[in-house]
Structures are given as C-alpha cells and as structure tokens.
C-alpha cells in the first residue's frame, strides 16, 4: 500500500509540475508555481545545512579610486540594510549622522545575496542543499545601500556626473538628501548630473534604494519526486532582468533574484561639453582585406548657456585625426568622421579581428578627446576590432522566392530593418525563411543560385566561419562577474577550440563578458531578455524593455565579437517590441544581422537535450544546418562533486544530485545511468562511477560536434551546445564544471572541434578531414590503424589527403574485414603533414557489446618527465612503459600536498596510450599558481606524479 501511494504521489507531482517540453507542446503560458510545492516533493539530504558565522562589521576605506580621464570608481565602503530595518530606525538613511553599526558591509559590485553570503548571514547556496536554507523572501523586500565618501578635487567650472553601470531591478538614487532620479531594469545605465549636489569638502552621502522585482515568482525545488519543474515563471513578466534566477532546469531559484548594485559605480568630472557613446564602424572592400575604412560617430552635447567651439581629437596606433565642432547653447550633435572627410581613416594592411581558429583577434585602442581652449572637456577610450560580418541565408524577395544570397549589414545604404519576420514562410520541418522588407536596396547583395540551402552561414572578413561552441545560461548564479572570475571560462573555451558563445536571454550582459569575448576570439550570439514563445511570458512593460535594449546596443556595439542580435530564446519578439527593436538595431548599430528567432529562422529547431543512447543518431537525426541548442548529461569528476556535495550525500545518487540538475524525469537519466552499468559494469561508488561516466561524457560530446563536422558546408554551418558554461555546480549541460575542472565532456568536445580534424563518422564509418581553419595541407597523409584491447595492431593503412583550408575532405571508408575484429577494439586515425608532423590524432574504442574487457586490464603506472618549464606552464612527456594500454588518461596540476589546482589548461585529456607509447602534453596555469606536480589518473591507471621542478 505504501509503495502504491508513493508511486501515485510521484506521478501526480510530475504531472503537477509539468515539464518544459510538455508545456511547449501544449502552448500553455508558464506562470511557474503559484504556491509552494508539496512538502513531500522537496529535496532531502542526509547532511545538515552549513551553519554560517556572522562577520563582525568593519570600517572600510571609501576613497574613490582614480581610473583615468577624471573618472573614479565608487565601489569600496558601501553598506547595506534591509528596508524594514531602515524604516524602523528613527534616523533617515539619507542623513550623514545615521548610525549604521547594524548595517552590513556591502559587496559592490554584487547582489544582495552576495553581500549576505559574504557577511556570513547565510551559507554558500552552491553547497549541497544550502540554498534551501536561504529564505525566498529576500527578493520580496526592498534594500538600502549607502556610501559616505570624500569627493576628489575638481577644477572650477567642471561638471560632476554619477553613473551606475547596472542595478537590479529598480532603484531610487539620493545624493546628500537630494533625490537624483530612478533606474529601471537590470541593463540600463543610470546617469545623473550631480554638479549642484556634490560637496567639495566634507562627506557626501550616496544612498540607493533597491526595489525588488514586481513578479518574483516561486522557485521550484528539484528532487527525484518533483523532477526538473517548469523553467522560470512570473519573473519573465518583468522583462529586462535575470529571468532565469526564478529557477530553470540548470540553476535553482536564486533567493534574491540577483537584485542589488551588480555593476560598477563611477564619479566623473567633465567640462561643459561632453562626449557620449561613440561608435566605430569598420568596412572592408571584400574580398580584398588589404585596406579598411574606419567611420567614427560620436554624440557631443553642450551643457552651457553659451555657444561652444570644440575640437574632437582622436588617435589609435599611428593614426591621428581631428574635427572642429560648433555647438549652440544646450545643443546636441552627432559628429561623423569618415575616410571621405579624413583620408587617414582609410587604413592600409589593417590588423584584422578573427574568431578563434581563423586568426588572431587583433584589437585597437582609440583615444577620443573633446577640447576647448586647449583644455580637455571630456575624453574616453574605446577598444575596437577591424572586421566585417556578412551572412549567407535564404529569404523571400520581390524578385525571387527562396532566394539565397550574401549580404553585409555594413554595406546597406539605409539604416532601416532588412527582414520581416512576421511575414515568414515554413519551407518544411519548421524551418522558416523571412521576407525582405519593402524598399531594401539589394545592389550590394551577392546571389547564390541553384541552391536549396536555407541555413545561415556567418562570414568574418569574407571567410565562412564554422560556428562551434555553446550557451551561457548565466555567467554565475549570484552574478559574481568580475573579470578574474570569468576569464578562466573564456580561456577554457578558446582551448577547447570553440569560436562562439551564446548569451542566452542576455543573462550575461556586462562589460567583462564582451571584453573577454573580444580578446579570446569568441563570436557572440546575443539574445535579449525574453524566453520561449508560447511558454514563457512576455514582458509587461514594453517601454521599459526598449529603454534597456537601446542602452545595451549603444553601450556594447563597438565589441567586434558580437555577431548576431536575437530578440529572445526560441521565439519571435511580441508585437510592440519586434519592429521597435529592429529599428533600434538598424539605426544604432547597423553592422550585424538581426535574426528574428533563435531556433527556426534560417536555423534548425532546438534540441534534443537528453541522453541519446545511440550516438549514430547525432549524425542521422540531428546534424543539419545551424543549431543553437543541443546537449546531454555531463556529470563532473568525483573531486569536483566532493566540493559541493558533503560526504553523507555523495553516494549513492540521491536528491542532492537531483537538486544539482541530475534530472529525474525528462532527459533520459535512466538511459545515461544504464549506459554506465551496461557498457562498463555497475558502479561500486563515487570514484568508480566517475571514471566510467567520463568515458560516456567524452563519446557523446565528441559525437555531437563530429556529426556537424560530417556535414561541413553541406548545409551544416554551426552547432552550439546547450550548454558549455555552468552557472553553478551542475550535473548536466556543461563541458567544464563550476570550479573550472575539465572532465570527459570537455576533452571530447575539444577533440572534435580541432581546427583541422580527422574523424570516423559513426553512422557510415567514413573517414573524413574537417578543416575549419585558414591553413591548407596539400600533401598530407591519413593513417588508419586498428588495435585490440591489449594493444596488438590488427590493421594499418595510409592514404594521401589534400586538406584544403575551410573544406571538408572525404578520405576513405576503410574495409576492416582482413583485421578479424574482436569484440572490443580501437580505431586510431592520424593526419600528418608532408614532413610527418602530427596535425590531428583521434582514437575510437568500439565494441560489439560492451567495454567491460577494460576492467580486466592491468593497472598501469605511467611515467613522465618535464621537458620544458615557464612561469605559467610546462611541457611534459608521458610514457606508458607497461604491456597494457592506458585508457582515459586524465591530468591535473597539484601542489606539494597533492591538492588539485584550478584552473589549468591541458593540450589533451582522456586519451589512450598504447604499450610503449609516449605523448607530449602542453600545460598552462595562472602565474603564481603553486604548481608542484602533474597527477595522472585514468580508467585503468594507477595515480602517478610527474615533478614540475
């Protein structure tokens, strides 16, 4: 009877929660939970919550930090208090004499929860079930931030400006008792003229009243019984905010919904004429790239009551230019400088920005100054890259239905929207093409006749880029987005041979994200803040949404990495936003493609997101066109799991695992776990499970990318994993874990995404070379070998190959009939240049049943030595001197006490060394890392250590 009751409860709960895909099918609007879920379905663990220790209030220096150009950071010395506590205090938070002894030392930039965790009010929500110990009421309260500071000295006549780079969700701002105004939405800057209110001497009191979201919703708490739950809910109504913080299938509900002062606060001094949001447009006479035209647009504003004669001066590299501007009282003017007015803005042999794998992401630094009477009135620095995007796609046009063409937005004559996404046409299998809007001048378009390919191809500097990478659902669940935290993630992307990241629903819209994308050569597929059409709710306040989108476009349009603007995840922008956003992008940017939907306009449908048991299906069922989402489970290594799950809950799999996104009801978890047991033998514990599941992680992620490689430029043009980057400690949809550890998924993807890659297609056994680079190897050779499980060679054949730049080349479909293949064997592929140097090596373990023969192999103790050392890395040689293959070799950098040090970057991982083989590995790690040794582990490898000194 009890068993029957529990089964009924589980089924009822799963039905009550309704899965994401179920709701897609039924087109029911997702309001999320309207009341807390039944207590019986909440996650349960054996370990208690961590007990936080409240930190003592300290005195923090509040001196503004100079960061150049009369600009000062106001990030230090903030205090924070709950709104109710402030109201109950007899003193006003605006008063200079208020007693703030009971306020918290605030973390700025940061969220309310960041401060409360840092101050020991609540435990780290990323550990175990600690998030359940934090009240969801944090997002239903108002909060006060307060800073008392001495203003830096300013010259007579200078204006003072206060800028908030980003708050969430709404804020009222006071300085010295004067209300300056409000900031609405997470992505718009707050700019205030504080000239009349800033004290030259004595303390200035800056107070910010943070107001919570209007529709915070109720988070779903994931467990075995409740499943993964609905994605989001009511918070989507609020529009420009972090909609995933209500809880999604890859992050739990963040208890404060990321409210707070989450970006920098700055104080700036200027003269009476100011410079605003300059834009740098670069154009190339493609296909020629030996010159570039630079156009600079800058808005200048006269804040005085008298006319002003000013000079706009600029310089980058050895280029200098200037223009005189006359401004009437209180006049604002757009100044445009181009090669037609300034010949020096036509560059010869420019350094071009390229995505990763196609060249260096070269960047320039532009200094702009507004001067009057030989004095600088305002100045700014802008970093930009010289590159031009163009796009191949199909659309219906007045002159031709299903017309395939290439166009460059930069070359368009008018700043008007190009495509009508309302007038779209289904050409089959829910693949849609848009319609060209009336009046679009197509003289610069390049026609591609005799093709039925509807899918988008992105070109950079005239070169087709095979896009590969993944989604960032959010950079960090608590919006800790300082550069130091994000840079390892971008470096891991570069080292994995990715070249594109998708800023899913704009959750990672801040300067550090785009700066790092620029530097690491990552194209950005940039969404705005609406999710799945027909499922997630549309924003209530469209004007607020459009105010935020306008500011984002102006703020980030100079980043060369942004390749695509998209209004939402998996759907079209609603009426009232679609046309207005398209116009904003055309007028304020005009250099990128605006695509109306992330999954069906000139792209394939999203998914799947579950474990696919037959990896051949990636080749036969999924690989096609341009895909923004496809993924599977990706459990991290045991050492990472031990960091966020306490010993009591580490094994067997339980609700704590499910709370960290091991979905019990919708992503084929039974198939994933069954694969471990059936292919490698039933796991006996956490470590045994980890070593076995990594083999599956490697194979699945390699298969996804290799399936698209198999269709390179034969309608295949790009694939993005859902996801590459985790927002918190997760068990699914990631290629590295939250602590920057790289597990099987990472190295499987890294292998398949090599710029020049040899592979064997899983569905037809054809060996191909996928060249996704600018390098050609005209006289290369492909070597195909087969070995049995003990390392005995059964087959070897070499084939000549012309691996032409950016082309897929078929090599052969090998005939292994002479090899008398055993039940378990390895196919090794090698691509070598005409001097015998290895270009690509790729090994596949294959079986007619399972891989449990691995369990009978002897444990191998590898040996190795350091070949070369630098301050930030090493080159080591690893050798297998045993008589058995060493399978699934994993490397870590450790300190003298054998603690794993992260991040660390390895040229390869989860590879096989046959008896007598050696392999050179390149290692990098941050300067100052206390690296002592390299630790080797693997499927049948005894842990060994290689000294780095």
Cα four-point dihedral sign 584, 588, 593, 599:
negative
The position carrying tokens 């260096």 is: 360
Return the number of other C-beta atoms located less than 10 Å from residue 88's C-beta.
8
pLDDT of residue 27: 57
CA distance 242 to 248: 11
Q: SS3 letters for 98-166? A: CCCCCCEECCCCCCHHHHHHHCCCCCCCCCCCHHHHCCHHHHHCCEEEEEEEECCCCCCCCEEEEEECC
The position carrying tokens 């800023």 is: 503
pLDDT of residue 16: 41
pLDDT of residue 664: 95
Beta-strand ranges (E) seen in 556-697 are 562-566, 593-594, 626-630
The position carrying tokens 């292998």 is: 751
pLDDT of residue 12: 37
Tell me which residue of 623, 618, 563 sits closest to 589, measured CA to CA. 563
pLDDT of residue 949: 82
The size of the chain, in residues, is: 949
Radius of gyration of the chain (CA): 29
Confirm if 330 and 302 have CB atoms less than 8 A apart.
Answer: yes
CA 751 vs. chain centroid, Å, equals 20
The position carrying tokens 């299938």 is: 249
Confirm if 408 and 372 have CB atoms less than 8 A apart.
Answer: no
Tell me which residue of 193, 137, 138 sits closest to 163, measured CA to CA. 193
pTM, two decimals, is 0.96
Cα four-point dihedral sign 610, 616, 621, 623:
positive
At residue 210's C-alpha, the angle toward residues 207 and 211, to 5°, is 145
CA distance 894 to 904: 10
CA distance 396 to 247: 39
3-class SS at 6? helix
Confirm if 498 and 705 have CB atoms less than 8 A apart.
Answer: no
Starting from the edge strand earliest in sequence, which strands make up the sheet with 944-947, in order? 911-913, 886-894, 933-937, 944-947
Contacts of 860 (CB under 8 A, 6+ apart): 880, 882, 884, 885, 886, 938, 940, 941, 942
Task: Report DSSP letters for 21-88, one per residue.
Answer: HHHHHHT-----BSSPPPGGGS---SSPPP---PPPP-----PPEE-STTEEE--SS-EEEEHHHHHH
How does 696-724 read in b/e, with b if 16+ C-beta sit within 10 Å?
A: bbbbbbbbbbbbbbbbbeebbbbbbbbbb
3-class SS at 703? helix
CA distance 946 to 863: 7
Strand partners, 46: none
The list of the chain residues with pLDDT below 50 reads: 1-26
Rounded to whole angstroms, the maximal C-alpha distance in the chain is 92
Output DSSP code: residue 652.
Answer: S
Task: Report DSSP letters for 602-635, one per residue.
Answer: SSPPP---S--SSTTHIIIII--SEEEEE--B--
């Amino acid at each position: 009877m009890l068993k029957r009751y529990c089964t009924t409860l589980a089924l009822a709960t799963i039905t009550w929660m309704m899965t994401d895909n179920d709701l897609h099918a039924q087109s029911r609007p997702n309001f999320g939970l309207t009341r807390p879920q039944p207590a019986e379905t909440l996650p349960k663990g054996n370990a208690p919550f961590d007990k936080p220790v409240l930190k003592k209030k300290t005195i923090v220096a509040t001196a503004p930090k100079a960061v150049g150009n009369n600009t000062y950071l106001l990030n230090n010395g903030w205090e924070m208090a709950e709104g109710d506590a402030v109201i109950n205090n007899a003193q006003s938070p605006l008063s200079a004499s208020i007693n703030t002894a009971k306020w918290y030392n605030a973390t700025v930039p940061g969220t309310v929860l960041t401060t409360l965790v840092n101050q020991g009010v609540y435990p780290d929500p990323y550990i175990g079930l600690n998030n359940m110990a934090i009240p969801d009421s944090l997002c239903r309260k108002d909060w006060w931030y307060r800073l008392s500071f001495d203003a830096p000295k300013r010259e007579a006549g200078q204006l003072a400006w206060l800028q908030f780079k980003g708050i969430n969700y709404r804020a009222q701002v006071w300085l010295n008792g004067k209300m300056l105004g409000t900031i609405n939405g997470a992505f718009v800057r707050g700019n205030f003229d504080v000239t009349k209110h800033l004290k030259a001497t004595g303390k200035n009191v800056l107070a910010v009243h943070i107001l919570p979201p209007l529709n915070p919703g109720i988070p779903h708490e994931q467990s075995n019984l409740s499943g993964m739950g609905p994605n989001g809910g009511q918070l989507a109504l609020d529009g420009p905010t972090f909609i995933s913080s209500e809880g999604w299938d890859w992050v739990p509900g963040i208890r404060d919904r990321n409210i707070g002062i989450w970006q920098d606060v700055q104080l700036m001094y200027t003269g009476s004429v100011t410079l605003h949001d300059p834009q740098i447009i670069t154009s190339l006479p493609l296909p020629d790239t030996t010159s570039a035209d630079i156009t600079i647009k800058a808005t200048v504003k006269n804040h005085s009551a008298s006319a002003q004669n000013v000079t706009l001066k600029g310089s980058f590299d050895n280029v200098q230019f200037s223009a005189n501007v006359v401004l009437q009282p209180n006049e604002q003017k757009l100044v445009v400088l181009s090669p037609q007015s300034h010949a020096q803005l036509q560059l010869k042999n420019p350094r071009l920005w390229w995505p990763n794998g196609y060249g260096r992401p070269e960047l320039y630094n532009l200094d702009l100054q507004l001067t009057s009477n030989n004095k600088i009135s305002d100045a700014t620095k802008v970093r930009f890259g010289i590159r031009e995007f163009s796009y191949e796609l199909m659309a219906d046009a007045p002159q031709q239905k299903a017309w395939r063409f290439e166009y460059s937005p930069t070359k368009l004559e008018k700043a008007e929207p190009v495509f009508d996404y309302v007038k779209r046409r289904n050409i089959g299998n829910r693949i849609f093409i848009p319609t060209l809007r009336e009046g679009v001048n197509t003289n610069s378009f390049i026609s591609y006749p005799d093709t039925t390919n509807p899918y988008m191809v992105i070109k950079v500097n005239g070169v087709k880029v095979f896009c590969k990478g993944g989604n960032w659902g959010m950079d960090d669940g608590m919006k800790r987005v300082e550069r130091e935290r994000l840079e390892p993630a971008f470096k891991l992307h570069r080292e994995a041979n990715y070249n594109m990241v998708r800023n899913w629903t704009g959750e990672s819209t801040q300067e550090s994200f785009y700066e790092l994308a620029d530097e690491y050569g990552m194209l950005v597929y940039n969404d705005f803040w609406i999710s799945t059409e027909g499922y997630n709710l549309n924003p209530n306040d469209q004007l607020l949404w459009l105010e935020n989108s306008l500011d984002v476009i102006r703020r980030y349009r100079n980043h060369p990495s942004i390749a695509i603007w998209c209004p939402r995840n998996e759907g079209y922008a609603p009426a009232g936003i679609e046309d207005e956003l398209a116009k904003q992008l055309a007028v304020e940017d005009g250099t990128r493609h605006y695509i109306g939907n992330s999954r069906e306009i000139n792209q394939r449908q999203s998914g799947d997101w579950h474990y696919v048991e037959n990896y051949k299906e990636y080749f036969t069922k999924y690989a096609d066109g341009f895909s923004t989402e496809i993924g599977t489970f990706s459990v991290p290594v045991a050492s990472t799991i031990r960091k966020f799950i306490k010993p009591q809950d580490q094994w067997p799999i339980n609700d704590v695992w499910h709370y960290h996104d091991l979905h019990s009801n919708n992503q084929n978890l039974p198939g994933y776990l069954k694969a471990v047991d059936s292919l490698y033998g039933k796991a006996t514990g956490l470590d045994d499970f980890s070593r076995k599941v990594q083999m599956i992680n490697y194979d699945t992620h390699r298969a996804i990318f290799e399936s698209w490689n198999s269709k390179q430029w034969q309608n295949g043009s790009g694939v993005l994993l859902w996801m590459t980057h985790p927002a918190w400690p997760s068990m699914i949809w990631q290629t590295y874990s939250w602590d920057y550890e790289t597990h099987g998924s990472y190295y499987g993807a890294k292998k398949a995404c090599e710029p020049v890659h040899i592979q064997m297609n899983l569905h037809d056994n054809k060996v191909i070379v996928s060249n996704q680079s600018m390098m050609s190897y005209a006289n290369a050779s492909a070597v195909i070998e087969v070995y049995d499980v003990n390392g005995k060679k059964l087959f070897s054949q070499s084939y000549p190959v012309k691996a032409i730049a950016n082309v897929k080349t078929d090599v052969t479909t090998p005939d292994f009939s002479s090899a008398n293949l055993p039940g378990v064997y390895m196919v090794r592929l090698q691509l070598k240049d005409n001097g015998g140097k290895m270009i690509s090596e790729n090994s596949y373990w294959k079986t007619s049943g399972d891989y449990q023969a691995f369990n009978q192999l002897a444990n191998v103790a590898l040996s190795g030595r350091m070949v070369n050392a630098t301050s930030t890395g090493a080159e080591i040689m690893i050798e297998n001197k045993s008589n058995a293959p060493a399978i699934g070799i994993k490397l870590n950098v450790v300190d003298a006490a054998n603690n794993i040090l992260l991040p660390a970057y390895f040229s390869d991982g989860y590879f096989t060394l046959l008896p007598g083989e050696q392999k050179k590995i390149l290692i990098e790690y941050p300067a100052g890392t206390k690296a002592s040794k390299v630790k080797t582990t693997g499927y049948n490898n005894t842990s060994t250590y290689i000294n780095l000194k």
